[in-house]
Amino acid sequence: YWDGGIISNTPVEAVFDDNPRRSGLVFAVHMWRPSGPDPDSIVRVLGRQKDLQYASRAKSHIARQKQIHKLRHIIAELSARLPEDMRT
């Protein structure tokens, strides 16, 4: 067993991978910062550790979805150029 928040605090991939795909608007609130100033005390080191440990990976999931979206459009464009009998 593990805390799912350690894997992904904002599991947006579950929404993005929904099948069938639907249009939608997703809001994600970042409670912990994935970037920030270097800590200058042990208390700030511990705080920064929590920031990094629990920071959302939503940004990387959104980048992945942009790539997939672009590839779907490229595939659709290429499919449209195929002769009718070769399309699936």
Q: Please list, in sequence order, all residues whose beta carbon lies within 8 angstroms of the beta carbon of residue 34, skipping any fewer than 6 positions away.
A: 51, 52, 55, 56, 59
Nearest one of 72, 57, 63, 60 to 21, comparing CA atoms: 72
pLDDT digits (tens, 9 = 90+) for 36-86: 889 999 999 998 888 887 776 777 778 888 899 899 999 999 999 998 888
**DSSP letter (8 states) at residue 74:** H
Q: What is the pLDDT of residues 30-40, one digit of tens each?
A: 777 778 889 99
